[in-house]
Structure 1
Amino acid sequence: MMCITSVTASKNIPDNLRRSIAMLSRFKDLSIGHAIFLVTTTIVGVIMLLSTTLTYQLIFARTDELIESTSKEINKQVVMNYENYLSNVINTSNSLQKYILDLTKANEVSNLENLFMATLNIERNIENIALFDLSGNRIVSSTGETIADDIISRSWFIEARNNVDIHHFSSSHIEDVVVNGTTEVFSVSRSIYYYEEGIQKEGVLLIDIDTRNLKALAAQTNLGNQGHIIITNQGNELIYSSLPECTTDVCESARIANDIVLGGKLVTLDNMAMFANVNTIKYTRWNIATFINVNDITNSKTDTLYRIVLIFLGTLIAIAISSAVFSMRISKPMNKLKEHIHLIQEGDFDTMVQVEGQREVVVLADAFNSMSNRIKELMQRVLKEQVEKRKTHFVALQNQINPHFLYNTLDSIVWLSENNRNKDVEKAIIALSKFFRMSISDQMSTVQLKDEVEHVRNYLLIQQIRYQHSFKFEFDINPDVEHNFVLKLSLQPLVENAIIHGIRPEESFTKILIKGFQKDGFTIIEVYNEGYGMTQQRIDEIQAMIRGEKESVSMGLKNVYQRLRLYYGLDADLYIESELDEYTKVTMKIPIGREAQL
């Protein structure tokens, strides 16, 4: 069993560790504002909860101690009042016992009756004083009324006979020593000795005490609303209760007092908080219980608890709001910086970030703006250098066309002159002059398509003379694209490629078709020639050479492709379509509205 427990515990440790790591990971994923808010609120909340709990326990503990100590003091004072009162009764009884013994010994019974009457006049709370023999016969009394016949059956008489060493206190009752008694009294009785005809005998002394003074003592003490006093004897029988509803031994107050026996306890009576304190009264075997109303104090404890909770919640809310405001002073500018970083990632270096908040965040934002400006300046410098570099490269590529073509044309004119074709020499020179007039007319990188077509027309006239009109050409240019701009000297290399690779010596005529139209925002120029055509493998090889993926011995198509990409970017393209022994078509694709790239 121990082994199984150890294995289970060892398995739980990694699980707990993984959960802790997962919680830390989730905390790391929080934003700085949420982290500050969560940490601050949690720390302050825990501190407030601990302090509130401690304050609550301290205040309530002190309140409970105060209730208990105050209740005990009140109970002690009540007990003292009753003990003083009953002590006077016992002192009176003890004095009477001495006089009874002396006067009966002297056979002065009449003086004893006078003594009883005088005592009644002095002690107004005494209702009757009587001396009985053991048979219940009256020896002497303070009243001349008829004495009851069954004295020996009275509880006070029986108690005195059964225990001769102490005074006995009965419960409250209507006086029963005389016939037709009307006053509510409690009886104090004791077994005493007296003399009859010189012989010492045992008898019972009775003193009936009016209960009004007993009730007055209870009324003197302020026990609060429904606060009261009850007195019970050693048999838990109710002797007296200041609460009118409590008239029997089975009332709730008597039951609580009997359960407590001695000491104090907080109880609830009729939905009111009472502190019950039970004590004994000296000289008697009575228990006295005081029920003090502490409902207001208990309610004040509840009110105090509500106030503490409200203060705790209010403070926690105030701290949460303050923490949220403070975290926003940090997180809001940080979020602005984050958004600005995204703008920079998208290429916007012109927007400056303006933040308000803590000094460190403002300094960070200013530093970020300075960094953004510096990056912008560096990028503009690099861009300018790249543009200049591309211009230089573009001009160099363009300049490659003129010497190449001039060499070929002059070679053709030499051949015509050697063959005495003077008319053709004249036409060729005129066409050549027109051709170069456009080439050197200005430094613009682009021309309108109609000018580029006219330029190529002169070129084709020269080539027709050279190739003895072995090919014919045709233009199919849509009027919508005549004024679209294209790269200067971009069409002539395509036509030259069609002549070189498309003319078949064995055929009388080869056709070259040049088309221009607009499609999907692009100017499309197609150069079509009948001829040998080529396989797809050869097309792929030429495309690779054009893109610079393979070395090329021909510069015409590659030169045009490179200038297209330098000027228009990736939107422009040059591609070949061919059918073996049928035709070859070279297509140039130029985006419209991109005439100022360089």
Structure 2
Amino acid sequence: MKKRRAYVENLSIKSKIIMFFSITTILVFGSLLVYINFNVKPRNEDNIKFLISQNVETKASEVSMWIEKRVVEYRTLSTTPAVRSMDVREITPIIESVTNSHKNNEETMETFSFIGKNGFCWINSKATENLIKYEDYMLVYSEDKEFIIGQPVLNDNNREVILFYYPIEGYTGKKESLICSAVPLVRLKEIVNTAQLYGSKTWIMNRQGDIITTDLDYFYDNYVDEEMLKTIDFESIVSSDMISLDSLKGDSTLFVSPVTSYPDWVLCTLTTDSAINHSINEMLIGYLFLFGALILLIIFIGAYVTKSVLNPIKILQSCMSRVEAGQLDAYYNTSTAKDEIYYLGVSYNKMLDEITQLIDKIYEEQSERRMAELRILQEQIKPHFLYNTLDNIKWMAKKQGANDVAKTITDLSNFFRVFLNNGNEKITLKQEFRHTRSYLDIQKTRCGEKLDYVMDIEKEIEEVSIIKILIQPIVENSIYHGIKTKESKGNIFVKAYSEGGYIKITVEDDGIGMDDECLNKLRESLLKAVDSGHYGMKNILQRLKYAYGDNACLNIESKLGIGTKVTILIPRQGEEECIER
């Protein structure tokens, strides 16, 4: 026993998996074959016959409802005073009303009439049959039945119809006249045809053996010999039943069910035993899908056997996934057994240390480079010299009477004061709005009446510090991408307010907007840092993430022909999470 166990343990992982998979597969297939042979096959034939019997009974009920629907209508008509008295003035509108009602329900009533006992009748304009010439016409008066349904006939329109005769009792209580109609067999055949399961043939016949809903010659030539059918005692059928029959296609089973609303009719379905056996074979193939369920058992056994081997790999994979998510402290535990995965883990930990050091170094270099570039920029511009020069130009313009030029220079001076801000990264929200207003005034001077704007800031957040130059690039985008190409006047609305622990800044324009495709491409380029040409928006998003982390959000909404709205969310407290809006 110990030798066998040692032999299994010394096998490679691949050999172990193949061995256990083979053993489990043999067990699965063996169990499946035993189950099918001793349990499934004997029960399927009875189940199929029961299913067909239930289906025949259901379709017999549908046929019964189809008859009852017309009988209720005729029963109601027969009790109306106009019909009982055979009032000529009122019967004609009733006939047309019934005909139109069936037409509106997409059921053609080709012939509908009231026939007196003396042969005098009122008939609709669509009449295609002479209802009096059939023998069932007189049977209604002689037999004690609420109504009689005649045999199908082919009318002058070459349409197969079935004849309804419903007696009308006069005020003396005797049958004085008839409601007669010819209803197309189309709907009745639709009901019958949907009952044909497993290659069966379904039809309606009366107790005397007359077939109602199928072509007689074709039926007798292909399904059941007429003499064979006459040997069946249909008069004795009172409920759903199965009858063994030798049909033209071999040993068969005849499923029968009476039509309750018209006891003279029986719904029949003929199914060959070979068709049932074929269906059983098809069902057995379906049972093979059980193999899929048993395969899960195989997988479970294989997983259990290989758990001790695969667990270290999964742990290492989990560490790598955490690193992908940004957790650079996800080290692999090297206190486990010193197998192949252990050495992979050691190498992984060393790699993680090197990555962390490299990131810190790159971040430090970028920070120093950024500060150096900012200092160079400040040195190049020489802020005080710029302010004084702009101020001199402004007063020179005023002396010359160029007040518009002087105002534009003032706006430009204010613009640069906030932009430079002595090298400080943050300014108050009030200063940011002042900077944006200066920019808008400059653009308004340039664009004239084509541009207008509204700015609104909540009083209590005016002195809140934020990183500078957030709003102006968005406004610039609104002008150049939304309003510039618009033929009519454009408006920009800038708003800032506090909401749920966040500073919410919105820049909205009524420019040309974007369709969904362009909007999705813009959002994707911002999220994936794809070069899309929207440098200002990309710069804002990066600066927001640097300053506030993932708690800061930038969202863009746009509708083609309506305009664009950009929303910035800045957390007022670092511990709060960003809420999608």
* TM tier relative to shorter chain: 0.3 to 0.5
Q: Normalising to structure 1: TM-score of the pair? A: 0.35
TM-score (norm 2): 0.36
